């Protein structure tokens, strides 16, 4: 599969080192459609290729929105791209959040740090089709108040009367009036119908493990909790072997996986 040239239409700096790009085609063909939770491989000319979450609204076919954090040579190059720069696109790849199967359920979205990015397409879907779901809860945790991703958007969502949105930070200065503490702390306080609820969890692996455990302590069956794994990816099509997590290829059997399938593996070290 070859990279397809796409152009940066818009660049937004979300946080120091984190950027959201809006991509458009250069060849006049339509953008690929995708499902929430999928990712693409972005290629920077001569530098390399990395997996990047799709963080936009899947129902809007006119743009491809992706959020990247600079953690290495290639991701840094992607975050430095400017409008009109051209990069290569492969994908979308991977499994999707079970968003289209949640009708009638209470839905809990638990996001940590950059984990809010791959969950955002699901959140758009939940909000745009609000009447299909029971309670909708969004819990977001990050390190400190100036590391809140998509802050303005969270503030806008917070104004809605039909969702519960809680933001917490690991620590803060005295001018922060909100929750302080790990995001998992917010879980035991939830009041949802655990037998008819689904949770979507994304963030650092430790946070997902403890978050999933807390959700199950609350009463959700393990099969109702979904996580998104991150592993080294090169080919994104299950042929290079790098993304393996025991028998799972994170690129094709994931990144979105069901908690009961990975619970035991997550607890082990160096799998």
Q: Identify whether the C-beta of residue 26 lies closer than 8 Å to the C-beta of residue 7.
A: yes
CB of 13 to other proteins, least distance (A): 17
Q: Identify whether the C-beta of residue 120 lies closer than 8 Å to the C-beta of residue 128.
A: no
219 lies in the site for other proteins, by CB under 8 A: no
**Residue 47, helix vs strand vs coil:** coil
Ranges of H-type helices in 62-132: 73-79, 116-128
| Residue numbers 230-269 binding other proteins by CB under 8 A | 230-232, 234-235, 237-242, 244, 246-249, 252-254, 256-258, 260-261, 264-265, 268-269
**Residue 208, helix vs strand vs coil:** helix
178 lies in the site for other proteins, by CB under 8 A: yes
Can you state the angle between helices 205-218 and 259-267, rounded to 10 degrees?
120
CB of 225 to other proteins, least distance (A): 12
| Residue numbers 48-87 binding other proteins by CB under 8 A | 48-49, 69, 71-72, 75, 86-87
CB of 146 to other proteins, least distance (A): 12
Q: Identify whether the C-beta of residue 192 lies closer than 8 Å to the C-beta of residue 108.
A: yes
Question: Which stretch in 108-116, 118-126, 128-136, 154-162 sits in contact with other proteins by CB under 8 A?
Answer: 108-116
CB of 5 to other proteins, least distance (A): 4
Count Cα atoms within 13 angstroms, Cβ side, for 205: 15
Map residues 127-166 to x or -, x wherever contact with other proteins holds by CB under 8 A. Answer: ---------------xx---x-------------------
């Amino acid at each position: 599969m070859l990279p397809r040239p796409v152009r940066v239409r818009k660049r937004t700096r979300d946080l120091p080192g984190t950027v959201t790009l809006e991509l458009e085609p250069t060849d006049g063909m339509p953008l690929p459609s995708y499902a929430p939770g999928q990712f693409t491989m972005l290629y920077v000319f001569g530098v390399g290729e990395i997996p990047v979450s799709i963080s936009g609204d899947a129902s809007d076919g006119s743009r491809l929105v992706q959020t990247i954090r600079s953690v290495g040579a290639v991701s840094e190059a992607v975050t430095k791209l400017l409008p009109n720069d051209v990069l290569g696109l492969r994908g979308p790849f991977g499994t999707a959040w079970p968003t289209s199967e949640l009708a009638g359920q209470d839905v809990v979205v638990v996001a940590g740090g950059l984990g809010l990015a791959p969950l955002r397409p699901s959140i758009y879907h939940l909000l745009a089709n609000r009447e299909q779901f029971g309670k909708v809860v969004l819990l977001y945790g990050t390190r400190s108040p100036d590391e809140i991703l998509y802050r303005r958007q969270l503030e806008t969502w917070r104004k809605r009367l039909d969702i519960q949105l809680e933001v917490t930070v690991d620590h803060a200065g005295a001018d922060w009036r909100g929750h302080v503490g790990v995001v998992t702390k917010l879980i035991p306080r939830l009041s949802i119908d655990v037998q008819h609820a689904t949770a979507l969890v994304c963030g650092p692996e430790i946070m997902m493990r403890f978050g999933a455990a807390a959700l199950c302590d609350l009463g959700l069956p393990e099969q109702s909790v979904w996580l998104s794994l991150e592993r080294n990816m090169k080919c994104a099509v299950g042929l290079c072997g790098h993304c393996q997590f025991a028998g799972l290829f994170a690129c094709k059997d994931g990144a979105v996986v069901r908690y009961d399938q990975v619970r035991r593996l997550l607890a082990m070290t160096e799998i």
